[in-house]
Amino acid sequence: MTLETIDYRANDAASKFVTSLRETGFGVLSNHPINQQLVEDIYREWQAFFNSEEKRNYLFKPETQDGFFPAEISETAKGHSVKDIKEYFHVYPWGRIPDSLRDNILTYYEAANRLAAELLDWVEQHSPAEVKQHFSIALPKMIENSQKTLLRVLHYPPMSGDEEMGAIRAAAHEDINLLTVLPAANEPGLQVQLKDGTWIDVPSDFGNLIINIGDMLQEASNGYFPSTSHRVINPEGLDKGKSRISLPLFLHPNPQVKLSDKYTADSYLMERLRELGVI
């Protein structure tokens, strides 16, 4: 099985997209409104930033979680013992951002959020009534003006040869948030796990937009929309010498939004961050 790429401008785009999310946890869009030149500019200028020592001036603050997370303290996925091979920067509009990178990244943040609201509306419109009734408010409303939505600029450095045994760029995990929106990275490697356990490549043609379900949408839909495991595998051969940059936007509802009888967005997030040991 492969993941089908869906033309955002096709008449049946919404229903095809939601069917793909329901079946695989992922949807891949071509012909979408995110400006590809902007994405390319961001990849280029953030690559230069990660190559410079300036990044150390933006070391993340544990209380606010904005800023630069170096490889030494980078994430260990839930259930794994080896750190991922990556470093990243957490962008929030209220957080610290290097001046020279601010305009482009905030333009992208806004454009991706606007599209995300439309895609959440597609999900809502194509949810069966018995699923829809679980949503405490309309899905696009959940993220409206949210200060919690996080744009992560990820840098996977070239392989040096002395990586820890068993380490990969991003070990298998599920995202915590409602939906994740990410432009295809500048190098392949992203894979999703199907129901039968096999791993398939997410079509990474440059210009595609990849959307995946996170645990919060799974919780809010009472399991109807599956949050599926995904990972980023290490490059082989000549590609070992190449960096990879990616740009996931993690859509987080406003903290007081009720996800289910059991959780608000805030109580859900806190429980997960406690499990991860980061708070």
Ligand X SMILES: O=C(O)CCC(=O)C(=O)O
175 contributes a contact to Fe ion by CB under 5 A: yes
- Compute the distance between CA of residue 106 and CA of residue 98 in angstroms, rounded to an integer: 11
175 contributes a contact to ligand X by CB under 6 A: yes
185 contributes a contact to ligand X by CB under 6 A: yes
CB of 18 or CB of 190, closer to ligand X? 190
Q: Residue 247 touches which of ligand X, Fe ion, none (CB < 5 to 8 A by kind)?
A: none
| Size, binding site for Fe ion by CB under 5 A | 1
154 contributes a contact to ligand X by CB under 6 A: yes
Query: Apex CA 149: angle with CA 148 and CA 153, to 5°?
Result: 120
- Compute the distance between CA of residue 139 and CA of residue 141 in angstroms, rounded to an integer: 5
120 contributes a contact to ligand X by CB under 6 A: no
Beginning with the edge strand found earlier in the chain, give each strand of the sheet holding 199-201 in spatial order: 170-173, 230-232, 190-193, 199-201
Burial label for 207, CB within 10 Å (0-12, 13-18, 19+), is: middle
**What number of other Cβ atoms are within 10 A of residue 37's Cβ?**
7
Minimal distance, residue 193 CB to ligand X, in Å: 12
Query: In degrees rounded to 5, what are phi and psi of residue 30?
Result: -110, 170
Given candidates 220, 230, 251, 254, which one binds ligand X under the rule CB under 6 A? 230
Minimal distance, residue 175 CB to ligand X, in Å: 5
Minimal distance, residue 130 CB to ligand X, in Å: 30
Q: Which residues contact 238 (CB under 8 A, 6 or more apart)?
A: none
- Compute the distance between CA of residue 99 and CA of residue 172 in angstroms, rounded to an integer: 34
Minimal distance, residue 162 CB to Fe ion, in Å: 26
Q: Where along the sequence are the contacts to Fe ion (CB under 5 A)?
A: 175
Q: Where along the sequence are the contacts to ligand X (CB under 6 A)?
A: 152, 154, 170, 175, 182, 185, 190, 230, 232, 246, 248
